[in-house]
Homo-oligomer: A and B are copies of this chain.
Amino acid sequence: MQHIQKKINSELNPNVSVDCVIFGFDLEQLTVLLIDRGEISSAFGPRLALPGNLIYDNENLDMAANRVLDELTGLKDIYLEQVGAFGDPDRIHKESDREWLKSIRAEPEARVITVAYFTLVPMSDYKPQASSFAKNADWIPVSEIKELAFDHFEILQAAKEKLKQKIKIQPIGFNLLPEKFTLSQLHRLYESILDKPLDKRNFRRKIQKLDILTSLREKQRGVPHKPSLLYEFNEEKYQELTQTGFDNFGF
């Protein structure tokens, strides 16, 4: 919490906040790290919200997004991308929302523009624990989310769409997997993000032809079936590939 000390002398900008769509992948499906706002809002709107906060006047937007992520999870150096700015004048309207905003020191009456980011974290790097600091955060499968507080559901959908487009162009999916992963896990990840089935053999052929994976000599252990070979993402090979003007995975 050192960063909070450093920021305490700087002023909060009452008009601009940052919200983070923190994506994870439980090796089966895409998930998002959401905050349960608790009883304070239970009688009114949805309890679940995206983590976010007002920005300080001496930090830029990317820094603010990284700070929100860090304060919640302790993670740094995480893949992060801006989704866009959201801000209808009436985006905050419920009494419960006002109470919640007061509790995080925001000005409940002020017009707030929020800048949304999505981040990709290897889910194993952060296991939520019930602590007061952790604000009851939890990984929720994207497919189960039907509503969120404020305009956060809209933001989530924009983030999903941006991720979907981006993964067709850059191999950012590896940021959601552990260092070593199987082709099947990668396959399921792409299906989750693109939200459509991909033929197993065609997927493997396509990925392997790109030659951006290092095949390890290691196998999965402890699985109740034929163990899979493990792979690593090869950053150097991918850089070589982009030099050729490659910018389309063809999904």
Contacts and interface: CB of A to CB of B under 8 A. Distances in A.
Interface stretch (A58-66, A68-76, A124-132, A225-233): A58-66
A89 B15 contact: no
Contacts of A169: 165
B88 A85 contact: no
Nearest to A169: B165
Chain A interface size, as a band, is: 20 to 34
Contacts of A82: 84-85
Contact of A15 (B13, B58, B60, B84): B13
A57 B86 CA distance: 13
Given A15-B15, A84-B84, A89 B60 contact: yes
12 contacts: A13-B111, A14-B15, A15-B113, A16-B87, A16-B113, A57-B89, A58-B89, A61-B86, A61-B113, A82-B84, A82-B85, A85-B85
